[in-house]
Amino acid sequence: MIDVDIQLSVADGRRRFDLAVRFASDVPFAALYGPSGAGKTLSLQAIAGLLRPTRGHIRIDGRTLFDSAAGIDVPTPQRRVGYLPQNYALFPHLSVRQNIGFGLTSWRKRRLSPDEQAQVQSLLDSFGLNAMADSRPSSLSGGQQQRVALARALACAPQVLLLDEPFAALHPSLRLSLREELAQARRQWGIPALMITHDVEDVLALADVAFVFDQGQVVQQIGLMDASCRSLARQDLGGTGPAEPTALQHKVRSLLLNK
């Protein structure tokens, strides 16, 4: 269960943006959807502990990560949140293996324990990255870089995955297969995900609920748990050819596109 009710403001001297969002989700996959500049990334950053709200609370699975009234603000490394930022933000000077293990180190503890090394190895295995474990990110394809970023986000055994436009940097032809890979990885790890996307097809293929953002607020919640909608999305992913959209898919698409 993810329960977010926060307010914060950011300003750089000339511009100011006020965020006041409230949403709660107890489904495996929630999408944060909306136009550019609506406050989606700021929301994920606040959940990850990279931005401090002025008021409100953030709870995940009954654990309070932030509560202004109770004076709780759990530091980022202890939040157990896996964050996949826009464009992955891989460290260019580190190998794939070092990138994945990075979240398990700190400035005080640079070396991984044997257990942690085994954990990194198991992530390299499960994401098919073994052959490139000692390569730098710049020599990897977009899809491979996404896998490294996902493996790095999962290395800290998070309670929730925060995905900021995970497919934006990818060629459209890769999106379909990587959507399915992401869905499989999430299921395998059994953790809920919050995903920012601008793409209605990402929402239809992956999300159980979509929170529509506009001008710093959540203006609509759209449920996508309907069986017919999801089975059609699955057919699309399985490459069985384009299916006729259901009435519900049409409705969701038009609801999202009208925002």
Ligand X SMILES: Nc1ncnc2c1ncn2[C@@H]1O[C@H](COP(=O)(O)OP(=O)(O)OP(=O)(O)O)[C@@H](O)[C@H]1O
DSSP class per residue in 194-259: EEEES-HHHHHHH-SEEEEEETTEEEEEEE---HHHHHHHHHHHTTS-PPPPPHHHHHHHHHHHT-
Cβ-based nearer residue to ligand X, 12 or 134: 12
DSSP string, 121-189: HHHHHHTT-GGGTTS-GGGS-HHHHHHHHHHHHHTT--SEEEEESTTTTS-HHHHHHHHHHHHHHHHHH
Q: Considering the rule CB under 6 A, would residue 163 count as an interface residue with ligand X?
A: no
In the block, tokens 């603000």 appear at 73
- Between 40 and 97, CB nearer to ligand X: 40
Compute and round to an integer the Cα radius of gyration of the chain: 19
- Cα 97 from Cα 207, distance rounded (Å): 30
CB-nearer residue toward ligand X: 205 or 212:
212
Is residue 200 involved in binding ligand X (CB under 6 A)? no
The residue from 2, 6, 42, 163 that contacts ligand X (CB under 6 A) is 42
Minimum CB distance to ligand X, residue 166 (Å): 13
- Of 17 and 102, CB closest to ligand X: 17
Restricted to residues 222-251, the positions that interact with ligand X (CB under 6 A) are none
Q: Rule CB under 6 A: is residue 197 a binding residue for ligand X?
A: no
Task: Answer whether 212's CB lies under 8 Å from 259's CB.
Answer: yes
The reply to whether 194 sits near ligand X by the rule CB under 6 A is no
C-beta separation of 251 from 229 below 8 A: no
What residues have CB less than 8 Å from 9, skipping those under 6 apart? 16, 17, 18, 19, 54
- Work out how close the CB of 44 gets to ligand X at its nearest, in angstroms, rounded to a whole number: 8
Binding range to ligand X, per CB under 6 A, among 31-39, 148-156, 184-192, 223-231: 31-39
Rule CB under 6 A: is residue 132 a binding residue for ligand X? no
Q: Report the residue from 41, 99, 145, 249 that binds ligand X according to the rule CB under 6 A.
A: 41
CB 184, min distance to ligand X, A? 25
* Spatial separation of the C-alpha atoms in residues 18 and 215, rounded to whole Å: 8
Residue 17, interface with ligand X (CB under 6 A)?
yes
Residue 10 binding ligand X, by CB under 6 A: yes
CB of 125 to ligand X, least distance (A): 33
Question: Residue 20 interacts with ligand X (CB under 6 A)?
Answer: no
Q: Which residues bind ligand X (CB under 6 A)?
A: 10-12, 15, 17, 36-42
